[in-house]
Copies of this chain bind each other. A is one copy, B any other.
Amino acid sequence: MSRIGVFGGMGPLATVDFLDKLVKLTPASRDQDHLPVIVASLPHVHDRSSAILGHGRDPLPQLLAGIDTLNRADVGVIVIPCNSSHHWFDQMSRSSRAPVLHIARSCVAAISSPAGSRVAIFATRGTLASGFYQRELVGRGMDFMTPESDGAQIQVDACIREVKAGRTELGAEHLTQACQHLVRCGVTTLIMGCTEIPMASRYADVSGLVLIDSTLELARASVAFAMARGWNRTGWDS
């Protein structure tokens, strides 16, 4: 049970980015110091954002099948580096023997000194419609804005789509435009609430913003969970 289960493939490159961060966050000087991980990268899950918005097929049966695959591989915790899929978090958690960590909770917990800061959320339209980021922020008494009501969401959509198509630098151009809009609106902190966005942010002009990377925060939560239980030391049979 001393293995991290990663339900990935949504998208595949974001899963690679998550694993890269997980490995680099683990204190290790040789292979045997690292954490055992089982990854189910299952990219054929129906589009999550479309389903939340009421068009497109229901991905829930596939999401539950992915959770089952990881449980059958004896994982001790499950993480899902796809924000939109957290619309179905309660159903996935209930069907899982292993606890599931929530990407938005990890992400919002990473925002320091909210006083005086203005937070924005960049995510898929499905994630924003689902509202779980907004609920986390309200629960912690934080003010926020989303770009839904203005043209910036069009840039966020394009950023995500280009990264999924392997055109990360083109995605970064859209992200730069969306970020410049935020700065003009007085936003100081940006939650990158879609795991494609952090890949584009490496090539984007994000000056003036404190970035909260949902992929990185989920990786930090995963490493902390596993290290606290000594999964780096227990060997793989235990």
A37 contact set on B, CB distance < 8 A: 9, 12, 39, 41
Instruction: Check if A11 is an interface residue, CB within 8 A of chain B.
Output: yes
Q: Which residues of chain B have C-beta atoms less than 8 A from A36's C-beta?
A: 9, 41-44
For A15, A40, A41, A165, which residue has the most chain B Cβ atoms within 10 angstroms?
A41
Residue of B nearest to A167 (CB): B29
**A197 shortest CB reach to chain B, Å:** 15
Q: Is the CB of B11 within 8 A of A16?
A: no
Residue A166 interfacial (CB < 8 Å): yes
Total copies of the chain: 2
In the complex, chain B residues whose CB is within 8 Å of the CB of A32: 43-47
Within 8 A of B (CB), among A65-82: 65, 69, 72-73
Please tell me if the beta carbons of A165 and B38 are within 8 angstroms of each other in the complex: no
Number of interface residues of A (CB under 8 A): 43
A150 at the interface (CB under 8 A from B): no
Interface centre among A39, A62, A166 (most CB of B within 10 A): A39
B contact residues around A42 at 8 Å (CB): 36, 236
Segment with Cβ contacts to B, from A18-26, A89-97, A129-137, A173-181? A18-26
- A196, closest chain B residue (CB): B31
A23 and B163 alpha carbons, distance in the complex (Å): 12
- CB nearest neighbor in B for A24: B166
Given contacts A9-B31, A32-B43, A36-B44, 11 further A-B contacts (CB under 8 A): A10-B31, A12-B26, A12-B34, A15-B19, A16-B16, A16-B23, A29-B166, A32-B44, A35-B43, A37-B39, A62-B236
Residues of A within 8 A of B (CB): 9-13, 15-16, 19-20, 23-24, 26, 28-47, 62, 65, 69, 72-73, 164-166, 235-237
What are 23 sample pairs from A and B whose C-beta atoms fall under 8 A apart? A10-B31, A11-B31, A12-B34, A13-B23, A13-B24, A16-B20, A19-B19, A29-B166, A30-B164, A30-B165, A31-B44, A31-B47, A32-B44, A35-B43, A36-B44, A37-B39, A38-B39, A38-B40, A38-B41, A62-B236, A65-B237, A69-B73, A73-B73
